[in-house]
Structure 1
Amino acid sequence: KVLWGFLRIKGPQNEKNSHARRITPLIDTKVRTVKPAKKPLKLFDGGGLFLLVTHPGGKLWNFKYRFEDKEIKLSFGSYPEISLAEARQKRDLARNLLAKGADPGVIKKVQKETGLQETETFEIVARDWHTKFSPSWAESHATKIIRRFELYIFPWIGSRPIKSITAPELLAVLRRIEAKGILETSP
């Protein structure tokens, strides 16, 4: 089990017998020059990130984490397409999502299914949605909807990448609107 950059060795878990080994972060030279062995080889970088080196010579970045008491492995892509620095950024983003109570694997799956890009903000997606559906609405209704987004939602989460917004954050924005009593009034 990896905790805070330390690898816990299996065995009795008490104060006297607790053994921990420091995980040395990977360096690019090691990643680039590692040769495949007969069995798959895992090179750990810390924080759940590791490089899986397979027998044919493939090098795959993986992130191992626990969510709701289940151990889950998330793939970030292969080396050299994904560099060590990029893999660390993806790991850090996944750890931030975990800290907010979101499962990074589920978020990645939803993004893949919906085709959302990492750079798409909430405002871009909301305006695309509005453009797609507003022709079937009355003009006054379409204007009212986009105006409400501009006044009450975009200032808080409009500039954020849509993939980084969690359900609790969105609920907080909606509760803020509800607290102001803006449910059915026009702007």
Structure 2
Amino acid sequence: MKLTDSIIKAAKAKEKAYSLPDGQGLVLFVQPSGAKWWRFRYRFNGKGKMLSLGIYPDVSLASTRKKHSELRELLAQGIDPSLHRQEQKQLKSIAAANSFESVARDWWDYWKDARTERHAKYVLRRLETDVFPVMGMKSVNELAAPVIVMTIKRIESRGAMDIAKRALNTISQVMRYAVAHGMAERNPAADIKPSDVLKPTNKSNYARLDEKDLPELLSKIDAYDGQPLTRLALQLMALTFVRTGELIGAKWNEIDLDRKQWRIPAERMKMRTSHIVPLSDQAIVILKQIQILSGDNPLLFPSERRDGKTMSNNTILFALYRMGYHSRMTGHGFRGIASTILHERGYNHDHIELQLAHAKRNAVSAAYDHAKYLEPRGRMMQDWADYLDVIKTRTNVISLNSAN
């Protein structure tokens, strides 16, 4: 007699477990506790076996019968259902180990040592926020270009064009790692160019002002009525044109006021090579003012809200917004302005590029280049500071001479 839901529900617990057959090896065991377990009894190669199919009512009668039918089909094909289940679990385990998220985290562990901690954490955070929720569970060996395109298009849809491009680049790096380690046969991201799937944008590089607008910006910075430490950070950035992350992460043990040098260690530099910033007289004055405000804090620009943390990148950006430069200027923009003006005034290209820490160098050349041309670079940085002082008045604009 076939089971029905009414029969199953009416089955009461007894002192000992007993079974209710549904036919062809499918039975329901009623336990002394009242729990009702689905089991499939069968024989394979002359041996009796039993396979668990779940607990009623979590697993319904209809779904159990469907599964039972599938298992009988396996038997008809000469396949042991128990062994088949074990193999499927192994395949799922392998797929999980080779999921994009799992491989991406392995790649990140391998990749991060050559990057700054800040940059490495940013890349992982972007993966966790924008990529893993969409394609993290996909096997890298089954990942196809349409899934990648969908992922970056979702990022683009919220207006984050630059993040979408970076996400595509990171996905491609992860897939190259997967191919190199035998986890995938090919890299589908290699078939995708940002220009093929993302809308074109008129933005180029970082927003920055023209030279003619620089005097007004410098005057507004000097008159900035926000936090004094923010004003001093902006003034120091204009004088040194370091990257925003390099500025806000500065520590006093990097500053040598007597030698007029700021030595930024390799781990804080984008290119992972140490960098020397010659300090002008004006920069020294600002640093001494910062010293008064930061007190005995090892950081030049500590956060106001988070102990032991630095000022945020957004502090610089929002200060520029407050001064009326939204979408017109960023902290990074000071680098572009300095490069343009110094090149136009005839300063040596190598001196400018070294001061901008643009060139990616190998370990041998880096050890030499970071201190290369310090004397002419020092003169260039002093000339630059003098130039900024003068143009704030918009009169008698100093002529920067070549420092070759």
- TM-score of the aligned structures, taking structure 1 as reference length: 0.52
**What is the deviation of 1:41?**
0.9
In structure 1, stretches of 5+ residues that fail to align are 1-23, 117-125, 144-187
Counterpart code for 1:35 = K
Q: How many Å separate the matches in 1 of 2:139 and 2:32?
A: 48
Q: How many Å separate the matches in 1 of 2:42 and 2:140?
A: 34
Partner of 2:179: 135
**Alignment match of 2:7 (pick from 30, 50, 53):** 30
**Alignment match of 1:110 (pick from 63, 87, 99):** 87
Q: How many Å separate the matches in 1 of 2:72 and 2:48?
A: 14
**Alignment match of 1:81 (pick from 51, 58, 67):** 58
In structure 2, stretches of 5+ residues that fail to align are 94-137, 144-174, 188-404
1:24-53: CA deviations, max 9, x gaps? 110111111210111111000001100000
User: Does the residue aligned with 1:62 lie in a helix, a strand or coil?
Assistant: strand
Partner of 1:42: 19
Greater Cα shift, 102-111 or 53-62:
102-111
Q: How many Å separate the matches in 1 of 2:6 and 2:45?
A: 36
Q: How many Å separate the matches in 1 of 2:8 and 2:21?
A: 11
Partner of 1:170: none
Partner of 1:63: 40
**What is the deviation of 1:113?**
3.4
**What is the deviation of 1:130?**
4.9
Q: How many Å separate the matches in 2 of 1:134 and 1:115?
A: 18
Counterpart code for 2:88 = Q
Contact preservation (8 Å) 2:140, 2:178: no
Partner of 1:52: 29
In proportion to residue count, which structure has more strand?
1
User: Does the residue aligned with 2:141 lie in a helix, a strand or coil?
Assistant: helix
Q: How many Å separate the matches in 1 of 2:141 and 2:46?
A: 36
Counterpart code for 1:129 = N
Q: How many Å separate the matches in 2 of 1:27 and 1:38?
A: 23
**Alignment match of 1:90 (pick from 56, 67, 83):** 67
Q: How many Å separate the matches in 2 of 1:129 and 1:71?
A: 38
In proportion to residue count, which structure has more helix?
2
**What is the deviation of 1:129?**
2.1
Partner of 2:259: none
Q: How many Å separate the matches in 2 of 1:130 and 1:87?
A: 30
**What is the deviation of 1:128?**
4.0
**What is the deviation of 1:59?**
0.3
Partner of 2:76: 99
1:88-146: CA deviations, max 9, x gaps? 11110000000011111111122233337xxxxxxxxx974254686328xxx748xxx
What pairs with 1:142-161 in structure 2 (closer than 5 Å)?
142=186
Corresponding residue pairs, total: 109
Q: How many Å separate the matches in 1 of 2:89 and 2:142?
A: 22
| % same residue | 35
Q: How many Å separate the matches in 1 of 2:33 and 2:65?
A: 24
Q: How many Å separate the matches in 2 of 1:68 and 1:128?
A: 38
> Structure 1 residues 31, 128: closer, same or farther in 2, change over 3 A?
farther
Q: How many Å separate the matches in 2 of 1:115 and 1:65?
A: 25
Q: How many Å separate the matches in 2 of 1:62 and 1:87?
A: 9
